[in-house]
Amino acid sequence: MKRLTVICALLIVCIGSVSGQPAAPHDSVADAWPLTSVYYLEAGGERAFNTYLSPLRQTGPTFALGGEWGRGCSTPRRCLSMFFSARYRMGFLENPARNASVTDLCLSLGWNMQRTFTPFSGVPELNVSAGAGAAVDGGLLYLPGNSNNPVAARLYAGLTLNGTATYSIRAGRTRLRLIDQVSLPSAGVFFSPHYGQSYYEIYLGEHDGLARFGWWGNHFCIDNLVAVEIPVCSTRIRAGYRFQVLNSRAHGIDSRITTHSFVLGIATDWLNITRR
């Protein structure tokens, strides 16, 4: 009886000491924000027109590779998300006579913030996000046949408006995710030489008017991606179509680049779980 009494007392003391300890901070996987990564390849066609190089339209295939990285922000309603994007594109073009070739190189970087909301309470499968961000786009058109001006460089930096709409549907036992992403540069600064001005003259010090304020009237660009994501194991396969237009007009130079491409990529969600 004495031993049983001692054991019971020890158990009561242990239980009391455990229940009196402060609870550990709640940090579950459900409360964590995943990092969504998308890597993709593109292949399609391009049409370019730049009067600084040639009055003829150039057409040919175009290829691109890129990535997107997005994560939600720690807000009370969890309605803000931040995204980074990078895309590198190459085009191999020819004139209508097929006797001159043009190479198009382009690198685009972007940072965006979006707010997500459900426009219809009765349709929880539909989510719409809208926001703004910053973008830097640079590239060049290279025409080896031009002895005086073989290169037409372009550079833009400014603010963009962007939006995303997603809709989830079920096809059999598979839940598909339809996506529509739109990016629209709105105000910024872009580079444009004068008509007939060579880059050697710019090198010698003729810098007047090279930087122009860009808006929809003299620098219009739209990038629209329509895609579907198909879950495969722990990842999602993204397949879609991208349409992009870049149109600028300054100093008597008209430039227009249009691309149509098919997109194939893979999307994954990552969680960084620490011991805490």
pLDDT at 187 over 90: yes
Q: Which residue has the tokens 């001006």?
A: 149
Question: Please, what is the average pLDDT of the chain?
Answer: 85
d(CA 214, CA 5): 86
Q: Are 162 and 130 in contact (CB under 8 A)?
A: yes
Residues 6+ apart with CB under 8 A from 232: none
**Distances 46 to 42, 63, 105, 169, 246 between C-alpha atoms, Å:** 12, 9, 12, 33, 11
Percent of the chain with pLDDT strictly greater than 70: 84
Least confident of 25-39, 210-224, 248-262: 25-39
Question: How do residues 70-82 score in pLDDT, each as one tens digit?
Answer: 988 766 566 788 9
Specify whether the CB–CB gap between 239 and 227 falls below 8 A: yes
Mean pLDDT of 245-258: 94
DSSP state of 30: G
Residue 22 has pLDDT above 50, yes or no: no
Amino acid 10: pLDDT: 47
* Weakest mean pLDDT among 88-97, 194-203, 233-242: 194-203
Distance CA(222)–CA(258), nearest Å, equals 10
The residues pairing with 168 across neighbouring beta strands, listed in sequence order, are 177
- CB neighbour list of residue 252: distance below 8 Å, 6 or more residues apart: 51, 194, 195
Tokens 């292949």 correspond to: 43
In order of start, what are the domains of the chain with their CATH numbers?
Answer: 33-270 (2.40.128.100)
Query: If 0-12 CB within 10 Å is exposed, 13-18 middle and 19+ buried, where does residue 110 land?
Result: buried
Shortest CA distance to 188 belongs to which of 216, 207, 213, 217?
Answer: 213
pTM, two decimal places: 0.81
The two structure tokens encoding residue 183: 């990016």
